[in-house]
Structure 1
Amino acid sequence: MRKDQLLTRRRALLAGAAAAGAAGAAGVLGALPGDEPVRSAAPAPGPRAHHPLQPSAYRLRPMTGHGTPRSAPGRTPVRRKPLLRVSGRGSTMVLTFDDGPDPRYTPDILDILAEYEVRAMFFVCGEMAAQNRDLLARMADEGHIVGNHTWSHPLLTRLTRSRIRTEMERTCEIIDRSWGEPPRWFRAPYGAWNRAAFQLGAELGMEALAWTVDTLDWTTPGTGTIVDRVENGAAPGAVVLSHDAGGDRSQSVRALRSYLPELLDSGYHITVPRRQYL
């Protein structure tokens, strides 16, 4: 199948999914135990702020994005813990990539996903997205989900509520303009959540998603180690954390090319979750 035919098919699938709304959606279940801020086993470094943050007008604008009008989103619940797993028919898994988009690595990841007709989630940093809007547009064309990973990848537990809001809102605005609609998912940098992050994310219509399989690819442990971590952690409902920016991600790209066909051959359905509250 030629690439232009593949993209046309994906656009048709997207249109069908939008019309279907929440019907048949993959639900989300499971959360981390405890009420303290949830942190990953080791912090995953990401882009750092290089520009002063400015107030955003995002919350003053209708959450309509571009294209055909959509119905207003339903109220997003305020959680005390991030969601971890997804549910769906059969052996469903989700692949997620944080900190991008990066023109050195994200296009290769998108090429591999397109080769196997697989959709994934990209939790982008606003300052990276602002410099690579064409990659967000491509993600939209190819049916991927774009989530909010803040503007400059700060540790939210050390920020004021006002600063957290600005980090989220500015990134929502960039995603809306470049991907075509506001983000419905949020992931805290370093996996460090607090009450303000959950509350503000819900106010902006975003659901909090963590992960069950951490590849720790930011430590550049070797392609084979990354592959082993994904394949050993593979299970129905698993959410895999990898990175497409924030450093040398060539190992992450090579690992994806290795483990993705293995997962598919093993019967896993790699897909993206759909929100229950739309």
Structure 2
Amino acid sequence: MLGIAGAVAGVAVAAGGLGTYGALSAGSQLFGQTLIAGNDPNEVALTFDDGPNGDTTMRLLDVLARHQAKATFFVIGGFVKQQPEVVRAIRAAGHIVGNHTMTHPWLHIQTHARIREELAGCNKVIEDVLGEPVRYFRAPHGARRPYVVRYARELGMVPVQWNVIVGDWNPYTARVLEERVKAGIRRAQRSGKSTNVVLHDGWDRVLGGADRLPTVEMVDTLLTRCAERRIRMVGVDAWG
């Protein structure tokens, strides 16, 4: 009996570990197909989460415009309601505006009803501001379960993950952030893949509550370096 009990316990632990991997690993496809990156090592998608964020986002738009670079912004619905003009500026500049839920919860532990509220609510806010459907969705923290991915697709959105994340919510300098991004690009290139890098122009907890200027400064320098190496900046729509 102890042998059987031990085997059952081992299966339970393994299942729990697999479930955690499926829910929280950026590259996992276990709980449904997600878009990660393309197959051209010379393509990089800069994606920005947790905005819009007032002057910080607007400075970032100025940097992107100077370099003629396209980016993707996954915005929080609650902040969109407070700063619709910033979201309009993002779209007017030719960038993609994606769904990052209404309030940025860990979706893998939410009820079906809460998941629907978060995704559909954010879609409605964005669509009311822009007058066009939302095509892309990123789960906060990348956390999902099968229903999250399925419901996003029911709403007509492509779930998007990433293959490079540099932790710019930490107090890193622009130089440190640039080195972390470049290291991520090199890893993706060695694997024959494009780079989909997560950055942040806002903070999920409060509008205007974090200093993202090191990220803005880093992007300016990074885009110069990438242009010198003929690395192209693309939106996630280049891949699906």
**Shorter chain as normaliser: what TM range?**
0.7 to 0.9
- Deviation of 1:79 (Å): 6.3
Distance 2:219 2:25 in 1: 24
Distance 2:86 2:145 in 1: 30
Q: Which residue of 2 aligns with 1:169?
A: 120
Q: Which residue of 1 aligns with 2:201?
A: 244
Using the size of structure 1 for normalisation, the TM-score is 0.70
Contact 2:46 2:72 in 1 (8 A): yes
Q: Which residue of 1 aligns with 2:5?
A: none
Residue 197 (structure 1) aligned with residue 160 (structure 2): no
- Equivalent of residue 272 in structure 1, options 205, 225, 235: 235
- Equivalent of residue 84 in structure 1, options 36, 45, 69: 36
Distance 2:86 2:197 in 1: 21
Q: Which residue of 1 aligns with 2:11?
A: none
- Deviation of 1:180 (Å): 3.0
- Deviation of 1:139 (Å): 1.6
Q: Which residue of 2 aligns with 1:221?
A: 172
Residue 37 (structure 1) aligned with residue 23 (structure 2): yes
* CA shift digits 1:5-38 (9 cap, x unpaired): xxxxxxxxxxxxxxxxxxxxxxxxxxxx986213
- Deviation of 1:179 (Å): 2.6
- Deviation of 1:183 (Å): 1.1
Q: Which residue of 2 aligns with 1:187?
A: 138
Q: What is the letter of the counterpart of residue 23 of structure 2?
A: P
CA RMSD of aligned residues (A): 2.2
Q: Which residue of 2 aligns with 1:98?
A: 49
Contact 1:137 1:180 in 2 (8 A): no
Using the size of structure 2 for normalisation, the TM-score is 0.80
Aligned pairs for 1:110-121 within 5 A: 110-121=61-72
Q: What is the letter of the counterpart of residue 266 of structure 1?
A: R
Aligned pairs for 1:15-164 within 5 A: 36-39=22-25, 80-87=32-39, 91-164=42-115
Q: What is the letter of the counterpart of residue 120 of structure 2?
A: E
* CA shift digits 1:171-220 (9 cap, x unpaired): 10111122331211111101111111101101100111111110200012
What percentage of residue pairs aligned between the two structures are identical? 31
Contact 2:23 2:31 in 1 (8 A): no
* CA shift digits 1:133-185 (9 cap, x unpaired): 11111122111001100000011122101001001111101111223312111
Contact 1:102 1:244 in 2 (8 A): yes
Structure 2 stretches lacking a partner, 5+ long? 1-17, 204-209
Q: What SS does the corresponding residue of 1:218 show, helix, strand or coil?
A: coil
Are the structure 2 counterparts of residues 79 and 205 from structure 1 closer, same or farther at C-alpha, using a change threshold of 3 Å?
A: farther
Distance 2:237 2:216 in 1: 25
Distance 2:24 2:33 in 1: 7
After TM superposition, what 4+ stretches of structure 1 lie above 2 angstroms from structure 2? 38-41, 273-277
Distance 2:73 2:202 in 1: 11
- Deviation of 1:270 (Å): 0.3
Contact 1:123 1:147 in 2 (8 A): yes
The total of aligned residue pairs comes to 208
User: Which structure has more helix as a fraction of its residues?
Assistant: 2
Q: What SS does the corresponding residue of 1:152 show, helix, strand or coil?
A: coil
- Equivalent of residue 212 in structure 1, options 154, 163, 168: 163
Q: What SS does the corresponding residue of 2:51 show, helix, strand or coil?
A: coil
- Deviation of 1:253 (Å): 1.0
Q: Which residue of 1 aligns with 2:207?
A: none
Are the structure 2 counterparts of residues 269 and 125 from structure 1 closer, same or farther at C-alpha, using a change threshold of 3 Å?
A: same
